[in-house]
Amino acid sequence: MHLPLLHTLASLLGCSGLYATWKSPPPPEASSTYQQRADALLSKYPVLDGHWDLPIVARFLAGDNLANFTYQDHLWGQVDIPRIKKGRVGGFWSAAYVGCNSSKEGPNFDGPTDEVRDTLEQIDLTRQLAAYFPRDVGLATTPAEHRRNLADGKVSHWIGIEGAHSLGNSLATLRMYAELGVTYVTVTHYCHNVFADSCSPPEPRHGGLSDFGRRLIIEMNRLGVAADLSHTSAATQRQVIELSAAPIFYSHSGAKSVYNHVRNIEEDVLRSLRNRDAVIGIPFVADFVRGSGNSTIDDVLEHIEHIASVIGRNKVALGSDYDGSFEFARGLEDVTTYPKLLARLLERGWSEEEVAGLASENFLRVVEKTQQVGRDLRGKGRGKKLLPDMKAWEGRKDLIPKSPPS
């Protein structure tokens, strides 16, 4: 494992929630009638989760030998194949995450880093897991591929990149990631980058999107790759919502009016999505939901209900962030618990169609529409053909000048 990944795991191991002490009794469960209905529904519409950090855990456990990764047995963390099956999971986005190397990049983002190499290794790992466990795992890059995997009894591994710092300041890198099956890129992680401002640090660098960041969003539209707005600043979110031709996508974000955390979405941003197609995956991480030691399944339900009340039940999904933290909302401790959450929604009066949407269909709809936007912009459907953006980042120091020096 490379040093940046070791640092990332070390930061997870230092999570304060590892030894959380619950301050309230266990939350109630739905009656057996609603649980049976949820189980039956999930047999038709298994969960598609917007964000798991499985690759970094797999790298830690497997080292340089996938035989060490006992995916088919009980693993450290929240995810393994037996629990995936028990939780009625049909697929998830596997986050190709590497840490922000801000100290190497420097204040102008122009220092050399290992981020592209490390991201490629994370993508490769996700693809190799599908090859190593072919009976249980299949790669998915489209809703049709996902449904074929379900028909074959496989869980779909989708690939998302968590943070555009992983692009190495290059639109060409984005195109190559798309060729490898990446279907979303989170515009920032916990650091600003050349494209946009993050929610943290709070002091803005660009005031939202940079000029190069606007080009990034347009190129993502052209490729049919979703621009994931989780982790971004509110200004970045507002500007992407205004600019993007594709539906709006959040892989794992809650409502700031429910719990005031920097990772959650401002109310005015939510309201701006009322007349836009969009999907928001709700996280289960305690720190985002109600704070360490306080978060329960009831609080996750409050995030779901609030966002649904503002923008519609057809725009809410699940983005647990499993394997990305140690403390999750009580009652949602690992991937086996999804059926309990859906049963509670049925008990609250959600229709089976609405719960099926939250389980998987809302994500699939938005991905299909995003990919259709890409086909149209590339001239494979309706509309004028948009060529690849070959613009290089202006801060690069290695480019040959347009004219030789005198």
Structure confidence by residue, pLDDT tens digits, 123-178 = 999 999 999 999 999 999 999 999 999 999 999 999 999 999 999 999 999 999 99
Q: pLDDT per residue over 359-368, tens digit each?
A: 999 999 999 9
Active site residues: 51, 53, 162, 189, 231, 252, 321
Give the mean pLDDT of 364-391. Answer: 90
> Looking only at Cα atoms, what is the longest distance across the chain?
82
Query: Which is more confident, 51 or 398?
Result: 51
Confidence of residue 398 (pLDDT cuts 50, 70, 90): confident
Confidence of residue 382 (pLDDT cuts 50, 70, 90): low
pLDDT at site 168: 95
Confidence of residue 23 (pLDDT cuts 50, 70, 90): low
pLDDT at site 250: 99
Query: Which is more confident, 145 or 101?
Result: 145
Confidence of residue 26 (pLDDT cuts 50, 70, 90): confident
67-76, 267-276, 371-380, range with greatest mean pLDDT:
267-276
Q: pTM value?
A: 0.93
pLDDT at site 49: 99
Q: Which domains does the chain have, with CATH numbers?
A: 3-13+34-377 (3.20.20.140)
Backbone angles phi, psi at 224, to 5 degrees: 75, 25
Q: Report the candidate in 223, 285, 208, 221 with the shortest Cα–Cα distance to residue 249.
A: 221
Least reliable range by pLDDT among 29-43, 247-261, 390-404: 390-404
* Mean per-residue pLDDT of the chain: 92
Query: Is the pLDDT at 15 greater than 70, yes or no?
Result: no
Query: Is the pLDDT at 254 greater than 80, yes or no?
Result: yes
Percent of the chain exceeding pLDDT 70 equals 91
Q: pLDDT per residue over 167-209, tens digit each?
A: 999 999 999 999 999 999 999 999 999 999 999 998 999 999 9
Give the mean pLDDT of 62-88. Answer: 92
Query: Is the pLDDT at 37 greater than 80, yes or no?
Result: yes
Percent of the chain exceeding pLDDT 90 equals 80
Give the mean pLDDT of 83-95. Answer: 98
Query: Is the pLDDT at 95 greater than 50, yes or no?
Result: yes
Angle at 281 between CA 278 and CA 284, to 5 degrees: 160
pLDDT at site 215: 99
